[in-house]
Amino acid sequence: MSRVPLLDPASTDGAPRAALDEIHGAFGVVPAMFRAVANSPAALRSMWGSFGALGSGRLSPLLGEQIAVAVADRNRCSYCLAAHTALGRKAGADASTMAAAQAGEADDPRTAAVLRFALRLVDERGAVDAADVDALRDAGLDDGEIVEVVAHVALNLFTNYVNVALEVPVDFPAVALTGAAA
């Protein structure tokens, strides 16, 4: 049971209602995470705005989902693992691609470098060294893409913490946490 109420979009007014209507338009439903975050209109604007901004960034939607599942598994966030696995599949990935990403791995060298960096960011709480950033450049990322990787990790930390701390019930098909990325 969630530690905060899951707000009913139909009984929500103002800016939160508008954001929840947009979220409904994007998903066909309002996922429980957003219903929990809607308790704070500022947090909802921040989260939904970040998803929108990064969704129009230079990293592919699939790479964003691969980052998300790796970070979710590392942080033991069942909600985000389930949601982003489903979204990764919607973005064109097969089950094995998403399972590999969950473990912080990928066949593509560029994607593998991004996932290694993302997990290093999580493990080191951002305190990576120049060699970590250089590894991304060596894999073909430019400075803008490197900043977007950091932004994706930060957004996923936000969502992981919301879901784990507030025990938001998972409303996507469950995916087992493995701890493989640990």
What the block records as the tokens of 150 is 């950091």
- Do 20 and 90 lie in one domain? The reply is no
Residues 34 and 82 occupy one common structural domain: no
Q: Are 147 and 76 within one domain?
A: yes
Q: How many helices (H) and strands (E) does the chain have?
A: 9, 0
Helices (H), 91-142: 95-102, 109-123, 130-138
Residue 25, Cβ neighbours under 10 Å: how many?
A: 9
pLDDT value of position 178 = 92
DSSP, collapsed to helix, strand or coil, labels residue 124 as: coil
Regarding whether 110 and 87 lie in a shared domain, the answer is yes
pLDDT confidence of residue 86? 96
Same domain, 86 and 105: yes
From first to last of its 182 residues, the chain has per-residue pLDDT tens of 899 999 999 999 888 899 999 999 999 999 999 999 999 999 999 999 999 999 999 999 999 999 999 999 999 999 999 999 999 999 999 999 999 999 999 999 999 999 999 999 999 999 999 999 999 999 999 999 999 999 999 999 999 999 999 999 999 999 999 975 55
CB contact set of 127 (below 8 Å; sequence gap of 6+): none
Indicate whether 37 and 83 sit together in one domain.
no
CB 117 within 8 A of CB 98: no
Spatial separation of the C-alpha atoms in residues 177 and 175, rounded to whole Å: 6
Q: Per residue in 154-175, pLDDT tens?
A: 999 999 999 999 999 999 999 9
* Nearest-angstrom CA–CA distance, 180 and 65: 17
30's tokens: 């309002």
Q: What is the pTM of this model?
A: 0.95
Report the SS3 class of residue 53: helix
Q: Tell me: do 76 and 160 sit in the same domain.
A: yes
Give the domain extent around 13: 9-55
Q: How far apart are the first and last CA of the chain?
A: 27
pLDDT number for residue 15: 86
Residues 150 and 76 in one domain: yes
The mean of the pLDDT values for the chain is 96
pLDDT of amino acid 180? 59
